[in-house]
């Protein structure tokens, strides 16, 4: 990531964070990372694919998270959902996620970190709502644990040090008129911000 010219140089923590991000991104290439399967609808969204032991953050869409975990779940991986009491399980089943192997923890209370660590210990992919506050130290400790266990964390919201940040920058629906029809197709424009650069991709998610 390049230093933005607009950022004042006196803002020491932000400069330090950005430098640390850069160091991490240069360190993080390993050979033993294995990619998880992805649905054709979202293939190519993340450069390098969805990898075991990585953290991804998504802003602006729960559906996107469902689409990402659908293929691993259909192939027999155990998935978890943390801190999302409103997670639509019917939509999850519609995407092909196996509900028998989907574990929901709606309210971790104040023990977000402990519960997230316990879940990622045993489940292959965990979708979690970001906690109110995360210190970079906690985040990197969890990331180390993920790398060791080979499980993937998808955070809905901000997460310091995510391997890729997916942000919905445009969304449109078809099928709905003025007083008639119903929602059928969705057009999503997603910006993926990872260590290899910024990519934009248009996805068409059918109903």
Partner 1 sequence: MADTNPPRVMVLWIPDWPVVAARESGLLPATAPIALVARGAVTACSAEARDEGVQRGLRVREAQSRCPQLVVQPHDPAVDARAFDPVVATIEERVPGVEVLRPGLAVMRARGAARYYRGEARAAEELVQALGAYDARLGIADGVFAAEQAAYRTGVQQRSLTVPAGASAQFLAPLPIDALDDPALVALLKRLGAHSLGDFAALGAADVLARFGASGELAHARAAGHDPRMVTARTPPRELDRVVEFEPPLDQVDTVAFGYRTAADDFIAGITEAGLVCTAIRVTIAAESGAVTEREWAHPRHFTAAEVVDRIRWQLQGSGGALASPIARVQVSPERVDAISHHEAGLWGHAPDERIHHGLSRIQSMLGHEAVATAVAGGGRMLAERRVLVPWGDAPPAHAVQLAGRPWPGRLPDPPPATVFEQPRPMLVLDASGSTVTVDDRGVVSADPVWLCRESEAGRSRITSWAGPWPVHQRWWDAARRRRAHRFQVVDERGEAWLVLLEHGSWWAEARYD
Binding footprint of partner 1 on the chain (CB under 8 A):
60-63, 66, 78, 85-94, 99-100, 102-109, 111, 114-115, 118-119, 121-123, 170-173, 176-184, 186, 205-207
- Per-residue exposure over 109-131, b if at least 16 CB sit within 10 Å of its own CB, e if not: eeebbebbbebbeebbbbbbbbb
What are φ and ψ of residue 111, in 5° steps?
-100, 45
C-alpha span between 116 and 93 (Å, rounded): 23
C-alpha span between 15 and 29 (Å, rounded): 23
In sign, the C-alpha dihedral spanning 8, 10, 13, 18 is positive
140's enclosing H/E stretch is: helix 136-149
What are φ and ψ of residue 8, in 5° steps?
-65, 140
């Amino acid at each position: 990531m390049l230093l933005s010219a607009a950022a004042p140089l006196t803002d020491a923590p932000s400069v330090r964070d950005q430098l640390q991000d850069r160091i991490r991104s240069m360190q993080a290439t390993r050979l033993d990372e294995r990619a998880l399967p992805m649905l054709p609808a979202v293939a190519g969204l993340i450069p390098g694919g969805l990898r075991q032991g990585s953290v991804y953050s998504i802003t602006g869409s729960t559906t996107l998270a469902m689409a990402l975990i659908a293929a691993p779940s259909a192939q027999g991986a155990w998935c978890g959902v943390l801190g999302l009491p409103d997670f639509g399980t019917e939509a999850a089943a519609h995407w092909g996620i196996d509900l028998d192997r989907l574990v929901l923890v709606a309210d971790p209370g104040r023990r977000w970190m402990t519960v997230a660590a316990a879940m990622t210990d045993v489940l292959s992919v965990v979708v979690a709502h970001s906690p109110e506050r995360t210190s970079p130290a906690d985040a990197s400790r969890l990331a180390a644990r993920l790398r060791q266990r080979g499980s993937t964390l998808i955070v809905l919201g901000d997460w310091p040090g995510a391997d890729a940040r997916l942000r919905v920058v445009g969304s449109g629906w078809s099928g709905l008129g003025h007083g008639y029809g119903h929602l059928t197709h969705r057009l999503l424009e997603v910006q993926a911000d990872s260590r290899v650069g910024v990519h934009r991709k248009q996805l068409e998610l059918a109903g």
